[in-house]
Amino acid sequence: MKQLLKRRERLVRVRNVQHLQASAAAAQAETRVATLETSAARLVALRGSLTPETGAVFAAALSNAGELSMRLEAARHGMTDAIANARASADRLGAMRLEARVRQESAEKLGERAEAAYAEWRERRTATPHRRKAGGTPA
């Protein structure tokens, strides 16, 4: 009976660690998505700041700004796949975190039931007086 209790306690600890690991992985994935989205927003802002000012502008400066603007736009479009993949990964890891949480809660309930059964077993065991074997030497 005590061995069963120890196995259940070990299972609770393992499920807790698994949930913590899944939570950490999900948090990292969410951070990755946020970082990529922030970078994409910076590229848009940087591209917007390249609009030429009114007045006389050198052709070379205008050409350089146009070239840089095209490159920034291409980089932003290139990030869309990375952002989509990061979101999919974050969603998948979030689902894994929820599954780990469900398994953890199930293990905790199982552990609580094992503790209650062990306590009940010990109580029944101590409540029943020990009998002496028949045929032994009298005391």
Cα–Cα dist 4/115, whole Å: 9
> 23: Cβ–Cβ under 8 A, 6 or more apart, which residues?
97, 100
Cα–Cα dist 113/56, whole Å: 82
pLDDT tens-digit profile, the chain (139 residues): 788 888 989 999 999 999 999 999 999 999 999 999 999 999 888 888 777 666 666 777 777 777 888 888 888 888 999 999 999 999 999 999 999 999 999 999 999 998 998 888 888 888 877 666 666 565 5
Domain ranges of the chain: 2-126
CATH 1.10.12, applies to 2-126:
no
Let me know: does 12 contact 100? Beta carbons within 8 Å.
no
